[in-house]
Structure 1
Amino acid sequence: MALFQKSPALKQGERRAVQRYTVDCAAKLKMPGGDRKGRLSDLSEAGARFDTQDPPQKGVSGLLAWGDHEFFGKIAWANENSCGMIFERPIPPSIVESTCEIVEVQAGPVANFGNIPVAKRGRRASLVSRDS
């Protein structure tokens, strides 16, 4: 029995069998060669996108951990700052839903209303009168 099996045939041009969701939470990829810290940015029942400064190569197996969850999978693709993981078994939809509720927002400066340009009243009035 193979660790990963091909999913049922999909329509031509369609790559994913399940819906994926945009998420944003801290995560860790645990591998025999060392752990990688990063952010979970995409999640579905079948896999996830993990953003990190040093992603592992395609084919590497490991545990993707976030919050109280850990799931085993294999790296399906990688680029210079992220990788895609396919889970060994689909994860429960309830975990996908609860993770979608975790969106960590970094606090930043509040907009200063003094820096927002204000339209001049006369300009709009002159445009309206030309169109009449």
Structure 2
Amino acid sequence: MTPTRPYHWFCLLAAILLEVGGSTIMKLSQQWGFAHAALLGLVIMWLCIGLSYYFLALSTTGLPVGVAFAFWEGLGLTLVTLAGFLVLGEQPSLTRLLGLCCVLGGALLVHKGTSHGDDSAATKEARHA
């Protein structure tokens, strides 16, 4: 795995935004009033999801896969839920908001608890001695 650079985080952000955009467009397309709107929404969604996986794969060349996936799912779920509230007119509830806090907290804990391979074993031993 290559060292983590901002590039990897940008790839992860692109993956998240493409996932959220694709999912939101799919749902919005059900409300469009022209022929084959739902099909167009599905095509856009599949394109966005495919690109999302591509960028997720790029992000894992420099980020631990568990960290990348935790953020992809956690932030993706949070942003899709917020899009549901703000764009699609879904109703927030305390339970949903607390669940999102738990998801984001879990992603942060996975990140905090994951070794990024930056420290050698000798450096770790020296710190604990």
TM bucket normalised to smaller: under 0.3
Larger Rg: 1
Q: Which has the higher contact order (CA 8 A, sep 6+)?
A: 2
